[in-house]
């Protein structure tokens, strides 16, 4: 057989395998996972500790994207899942706020920025078909 033909078949098989892995993501979370996410969300945004609320919301989004089969850091998962979000800029804004809390001493967002970030996390979870 022609080596170029065999190479073409090998590439086609690899592409099909890769596509199968990417598109075999679950369509929804189990009832137990959904209940866990809802319970975690209820504890977020009570205003007692804005920093903790943002960190927990970010971790919750990371958890859900992981359950949907996205891999890597949350930044990598967000890049892979961007098409799923109605407001991808809002999701990035919220995640960047988390990074500022994690890496900048004395970072203090305004009340408006804090609420905007929490709403962006909430919207992202709704976009992922999480019933909050």
pTM for this model (two decimals):
0.79
Instruction: Give pLDDT, residue 18.
Output: 56
Quick one: average pLDDT of 12-16? 58
Q: Which residue has the higher pLDDT, 49 or 65?
A: 65
Residue holding tokens 């500022």?
100
Report CA dihedral (96, 60, 40, 122) to the nearest 10 degrees: 60
pLDDT the model gives residue 4: 73
For the chain, what is the mean pLDDT? Answer: 87
pLDDT of residue 5 exceeding 80, the answer is no
State residue 131's pLDDT score: 87
How many residues does this entry show for the chain?
132
Mean pLDDT of 3-16: 61
Determine the pLDDT at residue 100. 96
């Amino acid at each position: 057989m022609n080596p170029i033909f065999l190479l073409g078949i090998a590439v086609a098989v690899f592409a099909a395998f890769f596509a199968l892995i990417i598109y075999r993501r679950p369509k929804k979370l189990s009832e137990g996972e959904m209940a866990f996410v809802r319970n975690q969300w209820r504890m977020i945004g009570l205003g007692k500790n804005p920093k903790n609320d943002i960190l927990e919301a970010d971790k919750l989004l990371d958890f859900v994207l992981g359950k949907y089969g996205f891999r890597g850091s949350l930044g990598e998962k967000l890049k892979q899942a961007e098409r799923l979000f109605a407001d991808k800029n809002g999701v990035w804004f919220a995640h960047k706020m988390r990074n500022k809390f994690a890496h900048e001493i004395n970072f203090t967002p305004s009340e408006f920025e804090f609420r905007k970030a929490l709403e962006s996390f909430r919207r992202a979870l709704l976009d992922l078909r999480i019933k909050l």
